[in-house]
Structure 1
Amino acid sequence: MKTIDLSHTIKDGMPVFPGTETPCIKDVFTHEVHGFWEHKLTLFSHVGTHIDAPAHMIKGAPTLDKMNTDRFIGPGICVDCTHRNQNAPVISIDDLLPYESEISEIDFVLLNTGWYKHWGRNEYFTNYPALSPNAARWLMEFDLKGVGVDVISIDSAESSGYEVHTILLEHGTIIIENLTDLHLLPSDGFIFSCLPLKFDEADGSPVRAIAID
């Protein structure tokens, strides 16, 4: 069995959504003083590679801790959107249609824009490729567990609201953001896993997202 890590490393000073504090990771206990090593982690629930729960945008919707674990694992495909760039950043239905038959048989759609290559630079936060509302509605015609992207948000940076978030989350479809290395995924599909931390009222959670080939 081969696994492919699709997650960014959580660390001090890492890129975060504008307005969010960066994680703070401190040594509290050390081998030299205490005989063991332990860190204190202070971080927001949507830091790094993470899941958005329906409750993130929809009041009264399920939180991650209330969802069955099978919601976070299943067959997936990767849609090549690398032709989308700063000059044509909208991911449309036309980009998804060639994958229609595969989408009808899987649980997760991951959109490979190649934008993760800008991780750690200012370009990561602006004019990135993003799913159009119409394309999001088209995806909701399928029985998907989740949609994943390798950008900071599934909504465009120029969006005045969270329309794509709302379209997906109203259907109970989880959103996985800040994925990385999607170019490593096999073209014929894989098993995708994005198990979240189980904390009370989890509106979102960092995940160790992986693909199993």
Structure 2
Amino acid sequence: MRTIDLSHTIKDGMPVFPGTETPSIENVFTHEMHGFQEHRLTLFSHVGTHVDAPAHMIKGALTLDQMSTDRFIGPGVCINCTAKNSQNPTITIDDLIPYESEISESDFVILNSGWYKNWGKNEYFTHYPALTPEAARWLVDFDLKGVGVDVISIDSAELSGYEIHNILLEQNILAIENLNSLHLLPEDGFIFSCLPLKYDQADGSPVRAIAIY
């Protein structure tokens, strides 16, 4: 069994969604002074590579801690969206249809736009590839557990509101954002895992997303 790490490292000064704060990682106890090392972590629930719960957008909906662990792992398919760019950022039904048979056999759809290569740059936050509402509604007709993207949000930065979030989360389909290194995913399928922290009323959580093959 082999694994591929699809996560960004959480650290001080890392890119975060505009309006939130970067994590603070404080070395509180040290080997030199205390004989052991321990850090204090201060961070938002949607920092770095993370998963969105339905409760992130929908009042009274499921939180991550209410969901069984099997909701966060299953067969995945990676859809090549690297032809998309800032001039042509929309991911349409036509881009998804060639993968229809693979999607029907998968729990997770991972959209590889290649945008993760802009991590740490200003352009990461704007004009990134994103699903159209029609494409998102087409995906919810499949029995999916989640849709993953290598961008800051599953919704376009250029459109107001959170329509794509709501289309997916209303059907209890998780949104996994800020994935990394998607070019390493095998074409012949893999098991995707995005287990979150189990904290009370979890609207979202950083994850160590991996592919197993």
**What's the TM-score, normalizing by structure 2?**
1.00
2:209 maps to 1:209: yes
* Alignment match, 1:21: 21
Deviation string, structure 1 residues 89-138 (Cα, Å, up to 9, x no partner): 00000000000011011100000000000000000001000011100000
SS in 2 for 1:79: strand
Query: Cα offset for 1:26?
Result: 0.5
* Alignment match, 2:35: 35
2:193 maps to 1:193: yes
Q: RMSD of the TM alignment (CA)?
A: 0.3
Number of residue pairs matched by the alignment:
213
- CA distance in 1 between partners of 2:193 and 2:145 (Å): 11
SS in 1 for 2:123: helix
What runs of 5+ residues in structure 2 fail to find an aligned partner? none
Query: Cα offset for 1:168?
Result: 0.1
- CA distance in 2 between partners of 1:38 and 1:133 (Å): 45
SS in 2 for 1:111: strand
SS in 1 for 2:61: coil
Structure 1 counterpart of 2:156, one-letter code: S
- CA distance in 2 between partners of 1:147 and 1:20 (Å): 23
2:71 maps to 1:71: yes
* Alignment match, 1:154: 154
Structure 1 counterpart of 2:152, one-letter code: I
- CA distance in 2 between partners of 1:154 and 1:174 (Å): 11
- CA distance in 2 between partners of 1:178 and 1:103 (Å): 21
* Alignment match, 1:170: 170
- CA distance in 1 between partners of 2:208 and 2:159 (Å): 28
Show the 5 A alignment for 1:7-156. 7-156=7-156
Deviation string, structure 1 residues 29-72 (Cα, Å, up to 9, x no partner): 00000000000000000000000000000111000000000000
- CA distance in 1 between partners of 2:47 and 2:34 (Å): 30
Which runs of 4 or more aligned residues in structure 1 lie more than 4 Å from their structure 2 counterparts after TM superposition? none
SS in 2 for 1:98: helix
Query: Cα offset for 1:159?
Result: 1.1
**What's the TM-score, normalizing by structure 1?**
1.00
Structure 1 counterpart of 2:26, one-letter code: K
Structure 2 counterpart of 1:191, one-letter code: I
SS in 2 for 1:47: coil
- CA distance in 1 between partners of 2:141 and 2:102 (Å): 13
What runs of 5+ residues in structure 1 fail to find an aligned partner? none
